[in-house]
Amino acid sequence: MKKITMAFLLLVFLISGCSNEVGSKNVSLDFPTDVKTKIENLPEEIQSNLKYPTEFPNDPSFVSFSYQTTDINNELNGDIIFTEFTYGGDEKGWMLHVTTWHSEVPNLDSSDYETVTLTNGIEANIKKNSQGKVLEWINENGELNSLLLMQTSEERNYTIDDLVEVANSMVERK
């Protein structure tokens, strides 16, 4: 009986260990409690428009959430200017900022940038700067989405294609 129990535990360990090797495809995030609480404090209109990626360069090791309101003295008052999910894979050498501008949307000028068409047909601007690679687009709600992929080590060179894959995986919060 001990051998069967040990074999069963070993099998469960191997299966669970292998399931973590799936990588970055179709990650379903169960947000940490502090992230869920911050989201639940937002107005329903903002909550229903939140989008986040389900694919990443590698499995993220952490996620955080923040937002900015028009009332800097009391974050629970005023309009939500932007929301931001931050994902990290420090041991894998990347950090991702997913920002949605809900009000006071910055002007998106695409004349000076290369563009890429996302799978939903929306054109996104490609930017590269000293911080990393950026994709920006106006979504179907008239909000500005911005993805900033920062490389935090030289182990792997993340590409615009990596960032486009992240953008194409954006889903609405349910």
Tens digit of pLDDT at every position of the chain (174 positions): 433 333 333 222 222 233 222 233 434 457 899 999 999 988 898 998 899 999 998 889 899 999 988 887 766 667 889 999 999 976 778 899 999 999 877 777 766 788 999 999 999 999 887 778 999 999 888 899 999 999 888 777 888 999 999 999 998 765
pTM reported for the whole predicted model: 0.78
| pLDDT, position 9 | 30
| pLDDT, position 59 | 86
Q: For residue 171, is it left (φ>0), alpha (ψ between -120 and 50) or beta?
A: beta
Sign of torsion, CA 131 137 143 145?
negative
Q: Where along the chain do its domains lie?
A: 26-172
Q: For residue 33, is it left (φ>0), alpha (ψ between -120 and 50) or beta?
A: alpha
> Which amino acid belongs to residue 63?
V
Q: Which residues, in sequence order, are CB contacts of 5 under 8 Å at separation 6+?
A: none
Q: What number of residues does the chain have?
A: 174
